[in-house]
Amino acid sequence: MRFTSRYAAYQELRYMAKAEVGYRTKTVCELTGVQRNTLLAWERRYNFLEPRRASNGYRSYSEQDLAKIRAVKAYVDKGIAVSVAVAHVLAEGQPAESFGDVAQEGLKGKHGELLEALVAFDRSSAERLIRGTDGLPYEYLLTELFTPVLVELGTGWADGRYTVAQEHFASAFIRAQLIAILLRLDGGPESGRGVVCACTPGDNHELGLLMVAIRLAMRGWRITWLGARMPEHDLVDFVKKRPPELLCISATVVESARELVAFVERVRDEIPRSVKLVLGGPGVPEDLALDGVEINPALALI
């Protein structure tokens, strides 16, 4: 069994950043500036994209697909016919720089600038920096911007370099950005498989779970966000009345592993067996095994 401090909770965000995701059509259109009907027409007529089909049937585009779409759009914006633009992109093979490389380059050093603005309580500078990331993939904002800021923030707080006020201000700002991303994703498609995301009753640390919710929405899940410090009775009542396919519970800071186990066992016994229950987060004991519960410490493989 292990118990986790706030510092360790921030460190665990490194592992929550590893999930591999694809982008739904709506998100691709937002990130590339290509209208949905145009994108589908390009895909149908020129066969230069290879979107996968997620288990719910939705298209799932890769970073390579995004790179191709952007490359074609760049040619088209210069007045080149779509057919010629596609031929150029296909002839060039893999673009010299994948969109992921471009995104990483565009975000290089930005997490340091964002952290500096936040610990100085300079919201205006932080907001200008965020506006400068418009169009970059959400996955890269999570892994290359927000996660490094939060990890450094936690390290600095533990070392005494940052105050509680600085930590709270910065965390609140990043939480607002994550909520905005989830809203831009519409919480996932209305017809997507349902997932309820909630923290344990005593856990106020929801940023890692928010990142999980964003990645699930990008994969086509329909998110119901219940968030931090979710009372047991209300959680059970909600799930019993509106059974999702998945209930995702995050435990970041745990005072008692025994109480955590008892809580999860009670929830499992009360909710329908058809609901898959996944428990994760740095507060979950590494050797924990519970009947009918999937233990996934990083919540990164859902």
* Contact in structure between 182 and 230 (CB atoms under 8 Å): no
pLDDT of 248 higher than 80: yes
pLDDT of 86 higher than 90: no
pLDDT of 15 higher than 90: no
Residues 65-86 have a mean pLDDT of 82
Q: How far apart, in whole angstroms, are the C-alpha atoms of residue 32 and residue 240? A: 40
Q: Which residue has the higher pLDDT, 273 or 25?
A: 273
**Cα 134 to Cα 1, 32, 77, 127, 129, distances in angstroms:** 42, 10, 19, 11, 10
Q: How far apart, in whole angstroms, are the C-alpha atoms of residue 75 and residue 108? A: 26
Per-residue pLDDT reduced to its tens digit, 112-169: 999 999 999 999 999 999 998 876 778 889 988 999 999 999 899 989 999 999 999 9
pLDDT of 95 higher than 80: no
Q: What whole-number percentage of the chain has pLDDT above 70?
A: 85
Residues 228-242 have a mean pLDDT of 97
Residues 6+ apart with CB under 8 A from 66: 23, 28, 31, 32, 99, 137
The tokens for 251 are 């435990």
pLDDT of 99 higher than 60: no
User: What is the model's pLDDT at position 302?
Assistant: 44
Residues 265-285 have a mean pLDDT of 93
Q: What is the 3-state secondary structure (H, E, C) of the chain?
A: CCCCCHHHHHHHHHHHCCCCCCECHHHHHHHHCCCHHHHHHHHHHHCCCCCEECCCCCEEECHHHHHHHHHHHHHHHCCCCHHHHHHHHHHHCCCCCCHHHHHHHHHCCHHHHHHHHHHCCCHHHHHHHHHCCCCCCHHHHHHHHHHHHHHHHHHHHHHCCCCHHHHHHHHHHHHHHHHHHHHHCCCCCCCCCEEEEEECCCCCCCHHHHHHHHHHHHCCCEEEEEECCCCHHHHHHHHHHCCCCEEEEECCCCCCHHHHHHHHHHHHHHCCCCCEEEEECCCCCCCCCECCEEECCCCCCC
Domains of the chain: 25-96 (1.10.1660.10), 106-183 (1.10.1240.10), 189-295 (3.40.50.280)
The tokens for 214 are 């964003």
Q: Which residue has the higher pLDDT, 5 or 30?
A: 30
